[in-house]
Structures are given as structure tokens and as C-alpha cells.
Structure 1
Amino acid sequence: MKSFLLILSFAVFNAFLASATTGGDSRKEVVLDTAYSSLPVLHLNGTPYENGFQHGKIMRSRIAELVGLWKRDIEEKYGIPADRFIATFLDSTNYIPSIKRWTPDLLEEIRGISAGSGIDFNTIFAFQLVDEIWTNARLISIPHHCTSIGVNNSKRDGSPNYIAQNIDITPFYHGFEVLLDIVDTETGARKLVTTFAGYIGANGVNRHIGITENTLADLKSSLDGLPVCCVARGVLEKESFEEAVDFIRGVKHASGQNYIVGSDSSVISLECASDLVTEYWPDSTKEYTFHANKPLTNSSYHPAFLSYLKALYGSIPESVSFSDERLEAIKAVALNSRHISLEVITDALSKRPICNANTFVSTIMEFGKGYSELRISPGKPDSTEYILFRIKK
């Protein structure tokens, strides 16, 4: 097993202090932790807008660079100027009402990132819509092939539970990894959010629960649902496993997605289309689950996928069976391990094809009695050590 770097106590240490006026007379202190050359950590403790502003201001140059790469990628893929694509995409969709309904604080955080980075709101807002652009603009051939696993060891033998994920995304995002360490000053609640510069979050953990996400582009999407980044961050605002699951089941999803949610007592895998949420379990024990990027139980398919099936088979089959090499690899790990331990998970995430050229970060979340932990490898885990962060309850 890899040796893990440093358990962090979240005290202020080896850090550069930065503070900025974020509106009115409000002034918030924030820490940019530069202890890890490959993983900037932003310690944020303001209002949602202030947190976004600090994120945008401190990472301003990195955000500008990444947004530039993102725009160039759009132009290469779609053959039109990026600003025209952004305007057309936003005119054709209507996500903001859903964000205001279910996660209004996140809209303020996005506004803050825009103000802090100096990049117009529409561009920063569209920058959050990674899955929505892939799915609803049907740009589904680019690499976004994440692999996840969830293990309910507490049900089997009382040992810690785990959820874990390799996030695979387009290579131009690589090198822009950021960890957000956000504290609510009123409640003391803390969440750790894995992300890249200028984005509100890909996955993460709080003191009670954690979440991973895998794109399911073959499932039905909506033009006015809640974007994936807001679903993930919305879950991290919940104080219990049950609240998190109810939230995922209760929102209208903008994009097809699999979410694995874990706590110290439970794990669940949910496949979400815009109009249907189903559970996925490999067997009746419900002691473990895993996922890649194809729906395994949910059959509410995207119209474009139904058209593809009809063209392929001449008619739409009653059932469709999916598999790929990453799913088979993680399935083999789960089925062939008598005990799915931290060592087993770490080893699996570090081997091909689960670890591949598109792997952006690898995350392992552990849930024990009295703590949650996040292990994050900011890069490919076969060559980049994990850094360990702990939240005490």
C-alpha cells in the first residue's frame, strides 16, 4: 500500500494569509495553504458569496488560464466561437430556477467566483455545467470515464465504510486541482470539496457523509433541472445519510448521473435520470456497490440514445446490457476480495484500466465512528501519493 502523506489537523499552518473586502464592510480571513505543491487548499469561512469571491480572487490567474483552455476546447469540438456557444447554450437551457429552488447559496458562490476572478457571470456559470454540456449538447465522446466503489463494511463486520472514485476528465483540466476546505462559522460544519480552479465542486465529504459521481450520458436529461455540481454540493450541506438520499431522490436532475453516497452506517448507489432514480446493487447483501459510466438498472434513456439503439438493432430492445473494461475491473475487485479494505481499494484505483491517461484525481473517503476522512491523490494514483485529511465529528 502506498504510504499516505500527513494527517492534517486543519489548524492554520505553513500557510499564506490573504484577506479581501467582498462587499460592504464585510471582511473575511482566508488561508491559501501551499504546503502541497500539487494541491492548493483554500480554507474558506465566509458567506457563500464571500467564499466564491475569495476562491475567484486567490485563484484568479489559474481560473483565467483554465477557462481559456476550456473555451479553446469548445471551439475545437463545436467549430464555433466559444462565446457564441456559451450564449446559445444558456439561451437554450434554464438551470437557474432549479438552483434557486434547491441550492440558492451555490448560485451566490458562483456569482462570487465571477466577481473575484473578473470573468463575466455567464462564462463562469457555463463553466460549472460540465456534465450538462456533455449530455445536453451531446458531446459525449470526450473522456469522462470515472470509476467508483462503495463498501458497507459496517454492515459486515463493523469496520469503517468507504466510497472511492477516480475522476477521469479531459486532460486540459489536469494540473488545476484544488481542494476547498469550507467551514460554516455559525454551525462549525466543515466540508472538503474536490474540484478544479473556478469550479464549485466534483465530489467531497463532510463530517457525516460523502459523495462520488459518475456521468450516465445515456439517461434522460433535462434543460431545467439541477446541475450535477449543485447536486454534489447540495448533498454536502446535509447532516445525515437519510437527508442526503432524500435530496438526491427529490430534485429534478439536469443530467444522467450515478451518485454513491456513504456514511459510517450506510452506503447507497443511485442512478439518476431527469424523471427516474433507481438503486444499483450487485447482489442482495447490499454490502458493496460499484459503478462506471453506463446505467445498470435505470432504463429512462435519453432520446438520442434510443435513436442510437434503433439504428443499431432496427428497433429498441426490451432490455440493454452494459459493460466495459473499467466496470469489469472494479467488479472483479469487489467479487474476489474477502474483505474490501483500504489497501484493496487503493490498489484497485492505482491499476489500469481504472487508472488511465484521463485520471484527474483519485479520492477515497473513509467513515468511522467519530470521524470522516478524505484521501486525495491530485493526479494519477499509480504515481501520485495520497494526502490524508480528517474531519472529527
Structure 2
Amino acid sequence: MRTEDLPVIDCPKAPLARGRAHGEALRGTIAGKVERWQAAIGKAYGRPAAAFLPVFLSVTDFRTAIAARVPDLLEEVRGIAEGAGISKETAYALQLMDEEWWFGGFDGEGHCSSLAVAPVAGRGTLVGQTMDLPRWHDGAQAVLRLDDGGSETLVYTSAGLIGLMGVSGHGLGICVNTLAQLAYSPRGLPVSFAMRGALAQENAAAAADFLSRVPHASGQTYQIGDRHGIRTLECAAGGVTEIAIAGGLSLHTNHPLANTRAAPNARLEGSGDSRTRLRSLHTDFSRGPADIETAKRALAARRKGGAVSIVPKGPPRPDTKLGLLRQMTIGAVVYEIGETVSLCVAAGPPSAEGWRQMAVR
């Protein structure tokens, strides 16, 4: 998607109405995405979606954790289903992206790269990332503008999903990247719900406390920043490890740096691609000031052996496994959180797409 075509959906405060506004505004986009998603399930796991999804939903119980920790988000998902004209089960299953991957045994570690930079005189806190997902998400990118009553939250998402990452008018920003090597649980809080629950907090300390208390369904890094500083948490089923941040800079890709609660047969050192991308981020921040332009440049890097910004090759081929499942950067964000709060967003690989700046009220 071109950044200039990125839709921004205004959503009211009440959870059910919030979801309905999302679903109604993106109804056609969600319908097309569901078709691509169901086709991708068959290619990824060797079983059609009609056979895979009922088993996935019957042997996992994420709803109990969601209802206990973020019940309003269950209402929001119901609203998405009503607004988009899809079944409640389909809308619910759409939220379980990371959980579907480990349940299905999808071969991959993810490709997101993230950063957080503590504030200094003259510049606010920076939090940013690339969001790298299977190519079938392309065309479904959107920003949700959520009414928080007196302020707003901007959430970058893939249509039908309650959110991928976001920043609030309170001055709190959260980015994420998958840690597929870490322990998972069929009864934990899924990533999308954990991210939104943390984003609803007043500040970084409260968000970190929320993430430290909830049971996690999937391994995930949460980069958190507010006007006063940054926090980095590696979360897994069974425990959360906070990374000690040196020099006011936290850079992360898709292998754990501190948490050792491994999933069965996992290699904690991660892939060569993940390690190369981490070195790439460090290279860019070592060559320039730790400012928003350096953050954008780091997220747009395409160094050999581990491109941070993943540009798809050739036209999509929905009839092939690689055509559906090949990763690409479906968006990138950088939040600047100071006296004012802003979101810089690219709706595709930032090495190929322009940036758009949005103020957060």
C-alpha cells in the first residue's frame, strides 16, 4: 500500500461501537483479507482453514485470560464482526496471529525490527519499528484513531485486527516484535490483546507493570516509551524479563537477548537474519545522532544478509505458497513523545515508501 492511500478510521470510545466503526469502514478490505488469510492457512499448514481453525479454537482457551484482563476488547472484536459482516469466530480468530503461528508450527521466526531511544534535551522519546508480515496482509493496512475521552490513541493495524502497535495522547508508545523461540501457552493473553491492554495504561511504568502481571500466550518483545524514558520487556509464557538499557538506546529484532524461557527445541540465538538486522540497527545509530531521522534511516536499511526494510519481489502470486507467505514490511512507525506526541508512519517498506506525520491529540 502507498502511504498516501493509508486509511485512518475514527472510532468512538464505547468498545462495541469502536469495533463496529472499524468493521464498517473496512468491510470490503476485511472480506478480501479473510479470503487471503484462509487460503494462506491451507498453504502454511497443509490443512484447509475450515479444518484448521475449529481445532485451533477448540484446544486453546485465550478467552478466559482476555475476559479477565481486557474484557472491553472482546466487545470490540464483537463489534468488528458486526460491522464487517463476518462471524464472531472468524473475527476472534483473526486476532490470534502469533498464536496461530506456533499452534500451526509455521516455519519462521518473524522479521520485525524495533527501537526505543530515551529522551534528551531538545528531543523527546523515540519508539519505532518495522512491521513485517506475510504478503497477504498488504492492502489491509490502516490506522485506527481511538477516542479515549479527552485524548486519542493512534493504532497501526491490519484490517480486522484490534492492533499491531500504537501511541496514545497520554504520551505512551508501544512497539513489538515476535520472539518465536520463547515459551508459549494455549491459555495466555494473546499478543494483540496484551499490546492494546498495555497501550491503555497512563505511562510506561504502568504498561510494564501490566505486561509483567498478565499470563502471556506468545513470546514477544515490547518496546515501551513515555515522556520520561523507555522500557524493554521480553515476555514469554511463564515469565517476563526486562532488559537493562545502556546509553538510553534499546534495539531489538527476533531473538531474545535476556529471557531464557525457551519453547520446545528452540534455538535462543535466533537466525542469521535476525542477528544481521540487529547489527544493522546498531550500525545506523553508531553513525549519526540518536534522532528521528536516524531512526527512519535505520528502519529503511537494506544491508546484505538481513534487510530491515523488506521489499517484495515481483507481483503477488496467491496460487503459490511463497506468494502467500513471503514476508514483507507492511508498515513502519516512529513515535516522538515529548511536549507533543506525533506518529510518523509508512504504509509499506520505508526504503520504498514515503513517511506521513500525524499529530496525536
- Scaled by the length of structure 2, the TM-score of the pair is 0.89
Q: Work out whether 1:153 is the aligned partner of 2:119.
A: yes
Q: Offset of 1:170 from its aligned partner? A: 0.4
Q: Offset of 1:47 from its aligned partner? A: 1.1
Q: Work out whether 1:292 is the aligned partner of 2:258.
A: no
- Could you tell me which of 339, 354, 369 is aligned with 2:308? 354
How many residues get paired? 337
Q: Which residue of 1 aligns with 2:321?
A: none
Q: Which residue of 2 aligns with 1:340?
A: 290
* Counterpart secondary structure, 1:324: helix
Q: Work out whether 1:390 is the aligned partner of 2:346.
A: no
Aligned mates of 1:331, 1:254 — CA distance in 2: 30
* Counterpart secondary structure, 2:331: strand
**Between the two proteins, what is the percent identity of the paired residues?**
34
Q: Which residue of 2 aligns with 1:367?
A: 337
Aligned partner of 1:342: which letter?
Answer: I
Given that 1:136 and 1:221 are in contact with CA atoms closer than 8 Å, whether structure 2 keeps it comes out as no
Q: Which residue of 1 aligns with 2:164?
A: 202
Given that 2:16 and 2:79 are in contact with CA atoms closer than 8 Å, whether structure 1 keeps it comes out as yes
Call closer, same or farther: CA 1:321–1:58 in 2, change over 3 Å: closer
Q: Work out whether 1:178 is the aligned partner of 2:142.
A: yes
Gapped runs of 5+ residues in structure 1?
Answer: 1-34, 310-318
Question: Which stretch has the larger CA shift, 350-359 or 191-200?
Answer: 350-359
Q: Which residue of 2 aligns with 1:105?
A: 72
Aligned mates of 2:84, 2:270 — CA distance in 1: 45
Instruction: Summarize the alignment of residues 89-128 of structure 1 with structure 2, pairs less than 5 Å apart.
Output: 89-128=56-95
Gapped runs of 5+ residues in structure 2?
Answer: 312-327
Q: Which residue of 2 aligns with 1:5?
A: none
Q: Offset of 1:121 from its aligned partner? A: 1.1
Aligned mates of 1:303, 1:347 — CA distance in 2: 36
Q: Offset of 1:348 from its aligned partner? A: 1.3
Given that 1:273 and 1:300 are in contact with CA atoms closer than 8 Å, whether structure 2 keeps it comes out as yes
Aligned mates of 2:52, 2:288 — CA distance in 1: 50
Aligned mates of 1:289, 1:351 — CA distance in 2: 17
Q: Work out whether 1:236 is the aligned partner of 2:228.
A: no
Is the radius of gyration larger for structure 1 or structure 2? 1
Question: Which stretch has the larger CA shift, 191-200 or 44-53?
Answer: 44-53
- Could you tell me which of 152, 177, 184 is aligned with 1:190? 152
Q: Which residue of 1 aligns with 2:110?
A: 144
Q: Which residue of 2 aligns with 1:30?
A: none
Given that 1:160 and 1:366 are in contact with CA atoms closer than 8 Å, whether structure 2 keeps it comes out as yes
Instruction: Summarize the alignment of residues 17-166 of structure 1 with structure 2, pairs less than 5 Å apart.
Output: 37-141=4-108, 144-154=110-120, 157=121, 159-166=123-130
Call closer, same or farther: CA 1:337–1:225 in 2, change over 3 Å: same
Aligned mates of 1:99, 1:189 — CA distance in 2: 25
Given that 1:144 and 1:170 are in contact with CA atoms closer than 8 Å, whether structure 2 keeps it comes out as no
- Could you tell me which of 160, 172, 179 is aligned with 1:216? 179
Aligned mates of 2:269, 2:30 — CA distance in 1: 41
Q: Offset of 1:46 from its aligned partner? A: 4.0
Q: Work out whether 1:376 is the aligned partner of 2:345.
A: yes
Q: Offset of 1:86 from its aligned partner? A: 0.8
* Counterpart secondary structure, 2:5: coil
Q: State the Cα deviation string for residues 153-201 of structure 1 (Å, max 9, x = none).
A: 33xx4521101101111011012111000113xx323100000111110
Call closer, same or farther: CA 1:133–1:46 in 2, change over 3 Å: same
Given that 1:296 and 1:321 are in contact with CA atoms closer than 8 Å, whether structure 2 keeps it comes out as no
